[in-house]
Structure 1
Amino acid sequence: MLIALLSGLALAVAPAGAQGRAPDPLGVTASSTAGVVTSAPGCPSGPLTEGRLLTGSTSLPPGAFSSLASQLSVSLPFRIGGIQVGLSGSEAQVALANARGTLTLALSSGDCTTPGSLVYDGTTVSGGGNWTVVPDATPANAYRGASGSGTFTLNSDVTPTGTGKSWSLSLSGSVTLPQPQVAVTQRAYWGGIGNYLTRTLSVEYRIRNTGPGDAFNVKLLDALPTGSGITRLGPVPQTVGAIRSGATAAVVVRYRVCGLVVLGCRFTANTQTSLTDALDGNLHTETVPVAVQVPVTPVP
């Protein structure tokens, strides 16, 4: 007990649940005039005997896919026969990438056996279909573990091989991400004899992300003490930034505490954090009460 009082250490882990979080809506529209079309295998049998592969990429501004500037890349092998077109989800992919990671979607509109709703007019493939998220478990990818589905529409010049092909793509649907959640511990210290004499206590709050998803836009909104005789000096709010799953970030809040008597002085601070997931969706706050034991002596 004496060791705990002297060090000012106290465990107060109280993670708030991540229940009730909604899927993130996904709505992205992109276009380019720098696509590349190369020849590709057609279907081994049936009417779709000609193949064209469209590849390309384009930049997305902040807000189009999360709050970050991003890149959208396409690799779409069209199987063509007359006006009919097939696009197989096992091969046709769109990648949405930024500094946090990559979300890959598989696009599908029919196959070699049954062409979908895409049509070919001799120059352009146009129409729509469905997409699903391609599973990814890469630890460094903030979009790992995502699932979701939706629809797409596209318009693409697929005239025989060449560069400078124009294409446009619209995606709509929703994505479900593993969510972050918060636990908080604390370390209380005086930081010197002067602070001890003026009863100015520093409390380092260690915010740990105990959820399976990475946390972004993390802020400590408040750490308000309960009870009498304790005054929060701040600073609050404080911007923390990103906390990966399993990682911890620390912020310090100062208090005026205790008056003359330090022995037995303690209080509870209601820490309030706000955060989002990797798509900057599901903005929410979590309140965790943390018990703070004031150190008896000014030594660290």
Structure 2
Amino acid sequence: MRGTTAPRVRSAVRRAAVVLIGLQVWLASAAAPAGAVGREAAAGRAPDPVSVSASSAAGAVTSAPGCPSGPLGATRHLTGGTALSPGVFSSLASQLSVDLPFRVGGTQAALPGGEAQVALTNARGTLALALTAGDCTTPTLSYDGTSASGSGTWTVVPDAAPTNAYRGATGGGTFTVTSDVTPGTGKLWTVNLTGNVTLLQPQVAVTQRAFWGGIGNYFARTLSVEYRIRNTGTGDAFGVKLVDALPTDSRITRIGPVPQTVGAIPAGGSARAVVRYRVCAISCRFTATTQTFLTDALDANGHTETVPVVVAVPITPFP
């Protein structure tokens, strides 16, 4: 008798375990946030092009000793700034600032690496660039006693400040510069920058909360679904918009409103958008295909991420 009972007990335990495991898997799939389908990895996004031209007639130049050896015996340190219109550096109005210690002597000049910088600043943060054009022993810029001019290269200055939307940026390019470097104020200067910058990229995950919002909506079968759009990427998201949240079930009608502008979502942050549906007369579940548009901090790499989200229609009219 004992030998017959043991297999039956083991069989019942196995069946219970299978049911329990299945229930756990179902609960995990229902609770886990849905991620974007078919999206590129953040590292696979294209670099953002940089093309900025700026000039000002309000530069200030001070004089100081030059290189300790070589032909460049004086320093002409230019500082200044100018406003950039929206669309030049991101979609925001911005500021370009220069800090350029020209080493000059004879007919030559240089901007040794690590000394000269240009900063591009807006409400999102600052992207600082280090400029290099020759060095104390090998000048590559021209100097005529009044102006320094020529070309060189730039690289992004590393920055990890969490409040700077341009943190973690890398990249480089070329520049040209022309400046009156005689000491004094009201000096004319022009800088042109071209190249590419790779930014930390945003990424989307979506969860939902379904509710009736009142007994009248329950009887009218008008369901509200609050979509929580989370930025799970390392970069901040801008221009975020819930383009659509279309049900795949023919019994469900999406009322709207869509699209909805969400705005900016910092890395690790979230925003919410509510979409209403006319749903089936009995308890059911449906999948809504959410589409979210977003860009990075330079308003580039704009793309739409598609995330399917399973919505369970509440059985009762109460939360």
Give the TM-score range, shorter chain.
over 0.9
Is contact 1:203-1:252 (8 Å) kept?
yes
Q: Which amino acid aligns with 2:137?
A: T
Could you tell me which residue of structure 1 aligns to residue 11 of structure 2? none
Matched, 1:13 2:38: no
2-structure distance, mates of 1:122, 1:44: 20
SS at match of 1:175: strand
Could you tell me which residue of structure 2 aligns to residue 149 of structure 1? 172
Matched, 1:272 2:299: no
SS at match of 2:86: coil
Q: Which amino acid aligns with 1:129?
A: G
Could you tell me which residue of structure 2 aligns to residue 108 of structure 1? 132
Q: Which amino acid aligns with 2:192?
A: S
2-structure distance, mates of 1:91, 1:183: 42
Residue deviations 1:155-199, cap 9 Å, x none? 10001x210000011000000001101000000000010110100
1-structure distance, mates of 2:143, 2:104: 7
2-structure distance, mates of 1:11, 1:266: 16
SS at match of 1:88: strand
Could you tell me which residue of structure 1 aligns to residue 59 of structure 2? 35
Q: CA deviation at 1:10?
A: 4.6
Residue deviations 1:274-293, cap 9 Å, x none? 11000000010100000000
Runs of 4+ aligned residues of structure 1 deviating over 6 Å after TM superposition are none
Q: Which amino acid aligns with 1:210?
A: T
Which residues of structure 2 form unaligned runs of 5+?
1-29
1-structure distance, mates of 2:136, 2:40: 43
The number of equivalent residue pairs is 287
Name the larger-Rg structure.
Answer: 2
SS at match of 1:280: coil
Indicate the structure with greater helix content. 2
Q: CA deviation at 1:122?
A: 1.2
Q: Percent identity?
A: 72
Q: CA deviation at 1:113?
A: 1.9
Q: TM-score, normalised by structure 1?
A: 0.94
Q: CA deviation at 1:89?
A: 2.4
Q: Which has the higher contact order (CA 8 A, sep 6+)?
A: 1
Residue deviations 1:58-113, cap 9 Å, x none? 00000000000000000000101101111022110000000000000000001112
Matched, 1:226 2:256: no
Q: Which amino acid aligns with 2:316?
A: T
Residue deviations 1:213-270, cap 9 Å, x none? 00000000000001121000000000000000000000000000012x22xx110000
Q: Which amino acid aligns with 1:175?
A: V
Q: TM-score, normalised by structure 2?
A: 0.88
Could you tell me which residue of structure 2 aligns to residue 51 of structure 1? 75
SS at match of 2:216: helix
